[in-house]
Amino acid sequence: MNHIQLDITKATSFLNEGAVKAYESKVKAAQKSLENATCPGNDFLGWLHLPSSITPAFLDEVQTVADILREKCEVIVVAGIGGSYLGARAVIEALGNSFAWLVNDKHNPAIVFAGNNIGEDYLFELSDYLKDKRFGVINISKSGTTTETALAFRLLKKQCEAQLGKDEARQVIVAITDAKRGAARAAADKEGYKTFVIPDNVGGRFSVLTPVGLLPIACAGFDIQALVAGATDMEKLTGPEVPFEQNIAAQYAAVRNALYADKGKKIEIMVNYQPKLHFIAEWWKQLYGESEGKEHKGIFPASCDFTTDLHSMGQWIQEGERSIFETVISVEKPARELLFPNDEENLDGLNFLAGKRVDEVNKMAELGTLLAHVDGGVPNIRISVPELNAYYIGQLIYFFEIGCGISGNLLGVNPFNQPGVETYKKNMFALLDKPGYEVESKAIKERLK
């Protein structure tokens, strides 16, 4: 099997000679501390050997539940936020038809997402869309208490019960949550929903290869065995015994930290040339942003969809402050073939492209942009994916996860916690007079007077 490749030559040319090699011993130490569980956040390392520990029996169990939902539902609503949402959406969009929501597909239910915002219009419009549909719900929350998800789930549960009756609703609601704690667990046990457990030692943003990601992905009709096989192969390819020069995750972690620490490149822009990869970048932003952005440190993870954003952010990237570098995900072979037609009148002057694949034009846009941005002072890291299938997406997921684990260690932070996320919640609960927040409520209202 082929695998994804990393090219850092257009980034190392911006660094002093030997700058990446200088990270070798630190990267080795970081990998050792992950393996030996001596690193900060060592109670959240369940993701490290997760792919190779997933059994065929477990995948069968997930697939069986997915098949029931697929049979019973026209629409499946996946309720979750952050790590309980982005991985599933990223994989489903990367592998799916770009116009999936318009395709009248008798074989695959539509997968829609909720619980990731508190937009009243969004929730109203979702409810309206669902009102004449047979729909099921996958409620995903590790803590089981996240407001955005709990709020959406209450609305969805009531609607599902109203449309199907309580007994039938029970057959199409699945909860993915903690084994014991949280309101989602309590509700699932009381109602008798099918449940899957999110392991204690796997944090939200590292949970896409648990049922959090696997169940929605299987519901969408994609091959979770191949996804896990890809991740498992990448686990081997990036293990601590793999030599530094050959370990693409080690190289990625080293080069981005060198750009940050040595050259002041504080922003990494994840770039794709396939609109389907938009949510892969959203997932990656959460993975790296929530893992590294702490103690007033960390590369800011941004993303752009090219060529679309070349007509908006392209100017900034070419000529703005030189504090950025780009990481491009390039897909070698599109799944479909579309040849550009000849036109006798050639009014648009595009006959020079006649007979070429659209992807050839895209690839030349990519190469032209790479050269332009490097000439403009933007270091470039390139990740090449042979094709967009479940196997390679599995590789990409594990590559980014292990790269993040190593990179956060190099930065000297605990990559597996997110203490900063609590601050807005505390204020919101105080402002909403949540019981238990009386002191904070009084203080915040004083402050706003």
Chain residues binding ligand PA5 by CB under 6 A are 81-84, 141-143, 146, 149, 203-205, 290, 418
* Smallest distance, ligand PA5 to C-beta of residue 146, A: 3
Under 8 Å between Cβ of 48 and 31: no
* Smallest distance, ligand PA5 to C-beta of residue 229, A: 25
Distant-in-sequence contacts of 330-333, Cβ < 8 A, 24+ apart: 330/273, 330/366, 330/382, 330/383, 330/384, 330/385, 331/273, 331/274, 331/277, 331/385, 331/387, 331/388, 332/384, 332/385, 332/386, 332/387, 333/359, 333/386, 333/387
Query: What gap in Å lies between CA 216 and CA 219, rounded to an integer?
Result: 5
* Smallest distance, ligand PA5 to C-beta of residue 83, A: 3
For residue 209, which amino acid is it?
L
DSSP single-letter state for residue 84: G
* Smallest distance, ligand PA5 to C-beta of residue 193, A: 16
User: What is the three-class DSSP state of 215?
Assistant: helix
Q: Which is nearer to ligand PA5, 325 or 400 (CB)?
A: 400
Kind of pairing between the strands at 380-387 and 5-7: antiparallel
Q: Which is nearer to ligand PA5, 139 or 238 (CB)?
A: 139
Query: What gap in Å lies between CA 376 and CA 408, rounded to an integer?
Result: 28
Query: What gap in Å lies between CA 317 and CA 191, rounded to an integer?
Result: 52
User: Distance of CA 74 to CAs 68, 157, 361, 418, Å?
Assistant: 12, 16, 38, 36
What's the per-residue H, E or C state across 338-356?
Answer: CECCCCCCCCCCCHHHCCC
Other CB atoms within 10 A of residue 349 CB: 8
Q: Which is nearer to ligand PA5, 70 or 205 (CB)?
A: 205
Q: Which is nearer to ligand PA5, 84 or 247 (CB)?
A: 84
Under 8 Å between Cβ of 58 and 116: no
* Smallest distance, ligand PA5 to C-beta of residue 115, A: 8
Active-site positions?
290, 425
* Smallest distance, ligand PA5 to C-beta of residue 141, A: 3
Q: Which is nearer to ligand PA5, 20 or 184 (CB)?
A: 184
Q: Which is nearer to ligand PA5, 283 or 325 (CB)?
A: 283
Residue number closest to ligand PA5, CB atom: 204
H-run or E-run covering 324: strand 324-333
Six token digits for residue 17: 């000679």
